[in-house]
Structures are given as C-alpha cells and as structure tokens.
Structure 1
C-alpha cells in the first residue's frame, strides 16, 4: 500500500465514492456495515467508536492499538498501519469500497 490511512484519507475516499454505493450512507440500507481489514493478517475490524460501540460510518478511533501508528494529543487516531483498508461487511464477508460499489450497482440493476 502506498498510503497510510488517517482521517484525511477517509474524507478523500468518501468524496471519491460519493454516489457509487461505496459509502456508508448509501449502502447501509442494504445491510452493509463499515469495517476495516488488515490485508497483511486478514483480520477484519468493525468500525467502532473509541468506547467500543458500533459506528455507523468509518471511524479509526475504535481500532485496536496493534494497528494504530499515531494518535493526536487528545487520543484520536491520526494514522494506522499501511496494511489497513476501509470497506464494509455484509453477510460475514468483507468488501472493499470498490467491491461494495459494484455489489450495490448489481443489487440496484
């Protein structure tokens, strides 16, 4: 991976995937849940608030310490490992944003 994920990269991804089905707002009604995958280990993490509650959008603050690279002075996650990608879980399967967008388009067709 060439980009370390942080809040700004999540904002960029949300702009890039607007109106494609690759954003939480667009695929949540179909049952997709925001998640992250460590492509190095294969581990999938549901997106969570720092206190552990499920988050309805991609939020880095609930990721475990072993994937966090840097925190802000107030404790918010600033960067995570390069092997972390954002995506969604549906029926136990992880979808990248691109895969989720294709799946949403297929469902809508």
Structure 2
C-alpha cells in the first residue's frame, strides 16, 4: 500500500499498517452546530487518522461511513486521535456535531 509502513506491535507477530504523514493528504473539516458534513475518501485510501481537538469535548462529534448518514449508527468521537482502516466499501464519511468544531483527517 502506498503511504503506509508495516509495523510490528507485539511479540506474537501481530502487525498493522501505519499511516505516513503526507500533508497533501490532510483535510481540515469545519462542522457547524447540528450540521452534517460529508468528506469523500480517495479511492486508494485504506487507512485514516481522525484528529478531534480538545475544544470538541462539548460538541458531541460523530462519524458515519456510508452513502446516507444514520445518526443511530454514527460512531462517537471523543477528543484525541482515532485510527481507522477503510479498505473497500463506501468512500463517504459523514461527520456531525452538536456545536461548531473543527476536525482533521489524514488519509494514507
């Protein structure tokens, strides 16, 4: 995979692909209060990192991967860094927040 490196994580041989920092693949997304914003992933993206800033702790940020947003199936994101594998499937991420906030997405 382009823009990744294999990284061993345990003595048992478990491993994961680590996303490389490529600023050309970083997107900042402004989310308005009670709004849903869609971000399209590149066709070759298989890994991503979502950064949610500390100011978002009161914003109730959620993410949903699919063609049509579903609040019932959206995943809550607390402040911090969230790695996700996204091989195949939908190329649409939908973000929502209960207050204005900014998140950052890094794709491999």
Global fold match (TM > 0.5) = no
TM value normalised by structure 1: 0.30
Higher strand share: 2
Larger radius of gyration: 2
Bigger relative contact order, structure 1 or 2, given CA contacts below 8 A and separation 6+? 2
Higher helix share: 1
TM value normalised by structure 2: 0.30
